[in-house]
Amino acid sequence: MQLVTFTQGSSTRIGIQKDESVVDLSQAAPDLPTDMLSFLEGGDAMMQAAQAIQDSAAHYAVSDVRLECPITVPPMILAIGLNYRAHAEEAGMALPKIPMVFTKQQTCANGPFDDIYAPPESEQLDYEGELGIVIGKKCRRVKKEDAENYIAGYTIVNDVSMRDWQMNGAPASFTMGKSWDTHGPMGPGIVTKDEVGDPHQLQLKTWVNGDLRQDSSTSDLIFDCFDIIEFISTAFTLQPGTVIPTGTPSGVGMAIDPPDWLVAGDVVKIEIDKLGYIENNVIADPL
């Protein structure tokens, strides 16, 4: 089941995408919440109610609605750095012994087909295609063997990064380099874990202007999805709707010789098996 947030007319609500159509949950199941965060906070009962009506007749074609960021304001975005073996190799860095965790501010969350701003303050704008975990239940100190029980599903994330800000040596450089407005496109929806199956056998591809830049499998993750949840939840209580981008594979613009940074006019497309794709135009920051 692929859960989506969409706008139709002047109203934004949630639904189930099936191929090129959308079942509007506000019509098919009026008792359910109309926003994704409230839906996820409802836990198993909400998910089961949605599954019960997922085969209902569609209300709209995808082309007739606007797909929004699945969780418009995630409670937290907790990202993992340097988490693919080949990416560590291209960066010339040793494999980390524990997950490298940083935060992206919730205000960077962006829609699956919305524009990415290229701010004038940076000359090193980069892309990072990533598998994102979406937490479905409040949890703390989760054991690895239980981690899947707390996952609602998975989504695609572009961890857009301004390398000159990220690498400037300041204590908050990762936060400042990765949290600018629009620098967290995700979607197109949340595909439930039962439909994804093993999240560690998914092919991930990123194109820039049609040029294939990243082509890897989540089997190359250093710390898998369940390792990550165990590690992070030791310190943080994870809320429903928390998004955890799990790291990017090799092929980022920074690693090209010479580096190939994103500029206004570029188009970035990221595709992951079973999750679909997101595609975003890069435009000059409208300031």
pLDDT digits (tens, 9 = 90+) for 200-218: 999 999 999 999 999 999 9
Query: The CATH number of the domain where 136 resides is what?
Result: 3.90.850.10
Signed CA dihedral, 69, 66, 207, 257: sign only: negative
Query: Which residue, of 67, 92, 117, is where some domain finishes?
Result: 67
Q: How far is C-alpha 155 from the geometric centre of its chain's CA atoms?
A: 5
Query: Which residue, of 49, 67, 85, is where some domain finishes?
Result: 67
242 and 216 share one domain: yes
Determine, yes or no, domain membership for 72: no
As for how many domains the chain has, the answer is: 2
pLDDT for the residue numbered 66 = 98
59 and 98 share one domain: no
90 and 176 share one domain: yes
pLDDT for the residue numbered 94 = 83
Tokens in use for 44? 């198993």
147 and 261 share one domain: yes
Determine, yes or no, domain membership for 258: yes
Given a cut of 80, whether residue 176 has pLDDT beyond it is yes
Determine, yes or no, domain membership for 182: yes
Query: Which residue, of 33, 48, 67, is where some domain finishes?
Result: 67
12 and 102 share one domain: no
Tokens in use for 37? 């965060």
Tokens in use for 170? 């300041």
59 and 83 share one domain: no
- Confidence band for 237, pLDDT divided at 50, 70 and 90: very high
- In the predicted model, what is the mean pLDDT of residues 267-275? 98
- In the predicted model, what is the mean pLDDT of residues 126-137? 98
The share of the chain scoring above pLDDT 90, in percent, equals: 92
98 and 238 share one domain: yes
Give, in degrees to the nearest 5, the angle at Cα 73 between 193 and 281: 85
- In the predicted model, what is the mean pLDDT of residues 231-259? 96
181 and 241 share one domain: yes
Neighbours of 198 (CB within 10 A): 11
41 and 103 share one domain: no
58 and 121 share one domain: no
Task: Give the gyration radius of the chain's Cα atoms.
Answer: 18
Given a cut of 70, whether residue 85 has pLDDT beyond it is yes
Tokens in use for 96? 């980390």
194 and 56 share one domain: no
pLDDT tens track for 38-71: 999 999 999 999 999 999 999 999 999 999 999 9
Determine, yes or no, domain membership for 134: yes
Determine, yes or no, domain membership for 263: yes
Print the domain residue range for 39: 2-67
150 and 16 share one domain: no
Q: What is the pTM of this model?
A: 0.97
Given a cut of 80, whether residue 169 has pLDDT beyond it is no
CA–CA gap between residue 36 and residue 73 (Å, rounded): 10
- In the predicted model, what is the mean pLDDT of residues 112-123? 97
pLDDT for the residue numbered 170 = 74
Given a cut of 70, whether residue 171 has pLDDT beyond it is no
Determine, yes or no, domain membership for 218: yes
Determine, yes or no, domain membership for 266: yes
Tokens 């919440």 sit at which residue? 33
